[in-house]
Structure 1
Amino acid sequence: MLRRMDIKTIVIGGGPVTSLLVLKTSDGDESDAASLPIRIGSVEATAISMGVEPAEGSRPMTHDLLKNVMEQLGGHLRSVIISRVEGTTFYASLDIINSAGEQVLVDCRPSDAISLAVRCGAPIYAESDVLDVAGMPDFDAIKEEEQEHEMKEFHDFVEGLSPDDFNVAGPGEKHA
């Protein structure tokens, strides 16, 4: 089963510090929300960032070139699929629709696929198996769910209060 993913964080490392891309499930199933951290190179992290927030007037990069060639040939990127993980290596496919309307799957690195996806406005998906093996719980969603539960408990507590619960003495009365 495919799960829709959004880019949550891009950390561009330098020198000995590795770069990191974190994807987050966005298919509405908060009870099963997960994050998918993928280590990538700093050049790849920069390419993704440049696709997310393109600089005005900049010359096309390799991923821009691929997008332009694909479109000039009558095709388009339908989606990106992170299909499997082996150890710390992730595998992805470009789901391309060619000029004849046929689906073509092209094997590629997730960083290249995501860099192209952000330029094309194409959705990113991950196989559930990949999330099961390499995903982490979405701690933000867990925290939000906990806060909602605490607020409901507090609301129920307040709604159940009566004046007798306060044991307040009126003017001139003594506390019991």
Structure 2
Amino acid sequence: MSLALFVIGAAVSAIVLDGSNIATFSVVVRLAKQTIINGRLFMGIGYFALGMLIAEKKMRYNKNALFAVAFECIVSSYIVPYSIIVYALRYITVFCLFLPIIQINLPASSVYVKLRHSSKVVYFTHMLFFFTWSAIKSFQNVNGMDAFVIVTSMTVITSLLIIAHKDDKSYNRIYNAFFG
């Protein structure tokens, strides 16, 4: 189901990106731009399913082959002109890079608990910072490296501040209210 939603999201994004000049897609493009902007909302669900699949299945793999496929997908995504293929290549890249990474066994450390809390804060705040950045830029040309750097910086700084003060009574209430 989530893979189907990923494909639908990729198709909507591709139509919005590549098909905006084709009369057949004009209604779909207008509808998408007025409601969901693009299909990224649906594509995110596909990544959750991929993560669940990797976590559940014990897969045999060749690390060198996975890294080679990931590299080929990254290079191809800059060459291929059609965005729907690029979305598929990104999906394969994530799979090929994530599978060997989860097989790394790290010794137990309290740092990992803090990193887990930090990732939760980053996850729940990144769209708030992106919205703020978009509003500052009047919702024009908001996607790009500047948005990535600003949003990443602000979410990481916020997570570090919240984690550093997590044990303070007043911050603890705020943390629990927003991040459980």
Smaller-chain TM-score bracket? under 0.3
Greater CA radius of gyration, 1 or 2?
1
Higher share of residues assigned strand: 1
Larger RCO, structure (CA 8 Å, separation 6 or more): 1
